[in-house]
């Protein structure tokens, strides 16, 4: 009979892993694959996302659907407020209980997306006190490739999903590659499994070191 110790990985402390990138770069795809992989290995994993499905997150989604029009700074203040709630209600409790968090978009999204229309230093300052992820993956995919993926997968596009904007946001992400610790820029313009393999290896290295 297997004991609990044999089934549970020795490493009890969870990692906080964030996925970032421009729209269509594969964050949702890769978050799910990583969650499934770590779950199969016996880790307790919570897959979560921003904007959340909570009250503030829903208000943000309605703005992204053009149902109302906050100014660019107000929109990023909402993303930041949503993040504060997300940390309190989901991320911190899960990490406290030893679970790993896989977060589909986190604070670099506010700074990268927001900076095309609002002040980057201000956006950094309002996010300065939030917990930093243990690992941040920036999925790097050319905007043209993202646009193709988006057109194939979704009938209507949201606010940020226009190629010129995506180019600027991609540049902003590049400028942020050293802003948080343990940030990896991953070539996401490859087969889904190939991208997943590279991510898996990096996560495993961190799990061994923890
Ligand atoms: N490496 C890849 N190669 C080809 N297609 C991919 C790859 N990764 C994801 N896709 C496809 O591209 C589309 C967008 O992927 P996904 O939803 O994961 O992107 P995203 O980064 O989460 O986008 P958003 O930021 O808009 O939520 C999906 O149809 C997905 O199956
Ligand atoms: Mg997504």
Question: What would the pLDDT profile of 148-195 be if each residue is shown by its tens digit?
Answer: 998 888 766 665 668 899 999 999 999 999 999 999 999 999 999 999
Of the ligands numbered here, which is closest to the C-alpha atom of 161? Answer: 1
- pLDDT value of residue 8: 47
- pLDDT value of residue 6: 38
Instruction: Please write the tens of the pLDDT for every residue from 61-96.
Output: 999 999 999 999 999 999 999 999 999 999 999 999
Q: What is the CA(50)–ligand 2 centre distance, in A?
A: 9
Q: Whose CA is nearest to atom 13 of ligand 1?
A: 149
> How is residue 172 annotated by DSSP?
H
Instruction: Please write the tens of the pLDDT for every residue from 88-111.
Output: 999 999 999 999 999 999 999 999
φ, ψ for residue 18, nearest 5 deg: -115, 140
- pLDDT value of residue 154: 74
CA quadruple 79, 92, 183, 176: dihedral positive or negative?
A: positive
Give the list of residues 6+ apart from residue 123 with CB closer than 8 angstroms, or none: 76, 80, 110, 111, 114, 115
Q: Position of tokens 């490493």?
A: 11
Average pLDDT of the residues in 26-48: 98
Q: What is the CA(101)–ligand 2 centre distance, in A?
A: 16
In percent, the amount of the chain with pLDDT more than 70 equals: 91
- pLDDT value of residue 151: 85
Cα 75 from Cα 57, distance rounded (Å): 11
CA distances from 73 to 6, 66, 80, 182 (A): 50, 16, 10, 28
Cα 207 from Cα 130, distance rounded (Å): 22
Q: Which atom of ligand 1 is nearest to the CA of 191?
A: 1
Residues with CB under 6 A from ligand 1: 21, 23-29, 149, 153, 188, 190-192, 195
φ, ψ for residue 19, nearest 5 deg: -110, 135
Residue 3: pLDDT band with limits 50, 70, 90: very low
* pTM (two decimals): 0.93
Q: Which domains does the chain have, with CATH numbers?
A: 12-209 (3.40.50.300)
């Amino acid at each position: 009979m297997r004991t609990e110790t044999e089934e549970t990985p020795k490493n009890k402390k969870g990692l906080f892993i964030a996925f970032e990138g421009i729209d269509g770069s594969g964050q949702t795809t890769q978050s799910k694959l990583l969650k499934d992989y770590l779950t199969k290995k016996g880790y307790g994993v919570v897959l979560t996302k921003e904007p959340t499905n909570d009250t503030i997150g829903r208000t943000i989604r309605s703005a992204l659907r053009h149902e109302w029009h906050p100014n660019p700074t107000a929109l990023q203040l909402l993303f930041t407020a949503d993040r504060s709630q997300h940390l309190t209600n989901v991320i911190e409790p899960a990490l406290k209980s030893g679970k790993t968090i896989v977060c589909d978009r986190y604070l670099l999204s506010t700074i990268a997306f927001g900076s095309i229309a609002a002040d980057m230093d201000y956006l950094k300052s309002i996010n300065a006190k939030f917990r930093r992820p243990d690992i941040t993956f920036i999925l790097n995919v050319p905007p043209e490739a993202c646009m193709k993926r988006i057109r194939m997968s979704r009938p209507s596009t949201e606010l940020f999903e226009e190629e010129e904007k995506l180019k600027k946001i991609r540049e902003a992400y590049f400028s942020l590659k050293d802003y948080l610790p343990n940030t990896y820029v991953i070539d996401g313009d490859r087969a889904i499994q190939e991208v997943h393999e590279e991510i898996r290896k990096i996560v495993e290295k961190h799990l061994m070191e923890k």
